[in-house]
Amino acid sequence: MTSSDINIRKDGRAGRITLNRPKALNALTYEMAMAIEETLDAWAQDDEISIVIIDATGDKAFCAGGDIQKLYEIGRAGDFAYGQRFWADEYRLNALIAEFPKPYVAFMQGFNMGGGVGISCHGSHRIVCDSTQISMPECGIGLVPDVGGSLLLARAPGRVGEYLALTTTRMGPGDAIFAGFADSYIPRDDWPALIATLCESGSPTAIQEAARTPPDGDLPDQRAKIDTLFAGDTLLDILNALRHDQGDFSSKALKSISRNSPLSMACAVEMIHRLRGPSADIRRALDLEYRYTFRAMEHGDFLEGVRAAVIDKDRSPNWQHDLESPPTMAAAQMLMPLKENSLTLDKKDATA
């Protein structure tokens, strides 16, 4: 299918998905996400398709996240069910990509944040270039790292996951590979020829041949400090360690953290800790994320966070809690099982 927002087609032995909202930084709408899901369901069974390639038009962004303005407008009017259905359907797509039976290749230039991470970084082959900037900025708008991002953060080396979640730091190509959000660095000029080869062969082997040594990032040198300062069991423990350290790195981290929702950050730390270890998988991560997002509009900071960042743009959110006494009990309540409202990934009508 082809629409103004997304171009889905077959090209040789490849299934091609191209996001096409460059003026909106290719932000992912609900309709785009559902079109991708419907397509992948069909391609998984299609013998003509040996490989899936997802990319995006424009230079600024692969995908700068989900289209949250509509979520805000409907939630502000008191309708929480729309958001709950949106997140459940989006998470079903994230699981489909993570478990997809064929090579799934993502070409990620420019900004790739939030919902964009969910449709790229769970793929089998994740390609970055010099302009790539990957981040999970959800704590800044009263959400938690979701779309399966909590699992990627839990699998990052040492305590890098906690650092990325709480500071919402952007990763260039080298750091994205180091943290496990990407696999291969390939200069952008080499992408067209590589895509042509992938379409012709239906095999991802050319990716390894095209890969180059990525530029140096910041995280490897910061790793020891991150592992020390972000090792606490709770958000308060991490804050105390940073405040006690008083170094430049800690001061910068605290400044970033101070902008974000204390409730979101407390939950993010707890989620990463629960998902760290061999038993965690994409379904467990999405289930945990959905416990938060299901409650985010009514009980969390999401509506206020979006108001401050996107609607009024005053950058002065009035969070429910403060960093002097991070909300341990409220965080626990946000992550309680949903029982009859639990996330169902296998049935389309389960969230209707």
Question: Would you give the distance in Å from CA 118 to the centre of its chain?
Answer: 5
Which residue in the list 15, 65, 66, 161 is annotated as catalytic? 66
- Domain contains 284: yes
Whether residue 1 is contained in a domain is answered as: no
Q: Which of 67, 146, 183, 301 is catalytic?
A: 146
Coil/strand/helix, residue 216: coil
* Residue 66: active-site member: yes
- 89 noted as active-site residue: no
Look up 73 and say whether it is catalytic: no
Residue 36 covered by a domain = yes
Q: Which domain holds residue 319?
A: 6-351
Mean pLDDT of 1-14: 88
Residue 318 belongs to a domain: yes
What 8-state DSSP symbol labels residue 212? B
pLDDT in tens, 225-258: 999 999 999 999 999 999 999 899 999 999 999 9
269 near 162, Cβ under 8 Å?
Answer: yes
Task: Report how far residue 232's alpha carbon sits from residue 269's, in angstroms, rounded to the nearest whole number.
Answer: 9
Round to whole Å and give the CA distance between 56 and 285.
26
Query: Is the residue at 126 inside a domain?
Result: yes
Global confidence as pTM:
0.96
What is the tens place of the pLDDT at every residue in 189-210? 999 999 999 999 999 999 999 9
Kindly give the pairing relationship between strand 61-63 and strand 111-113: parallel
Instruction: Give the C-alpha separation, 168 to 163, whole Å.
Output: 8
**One of 115, 161, 172, 174 is an active-site residue; which one?**
115
Q: Is residue 183 part of a domain?
A: yes
Among 67, 138, 175, 183, the active-site one is: 138
pLDDT in tens, 93-128: 999 999 999 999 999 999 999 999 999 999 999 999
Q: Rounded mean pLDDT of the chain?
A: 96
N-terminal to C-terminal alpha carbon distance within the chain: 25
CB 282 within 8 A of CB 98: yes
Helix (H) or strand (E) holding 238: helix 235-245
Domain count, the chain: 1
Which CATH number does the domain housing residue 176 bear? 3.90.226.10
Active site residue 138: yes
CA–CA separation, 175 and 130 (whole Å) = 11
Let me know if residue 202 belongs to a domain: yes
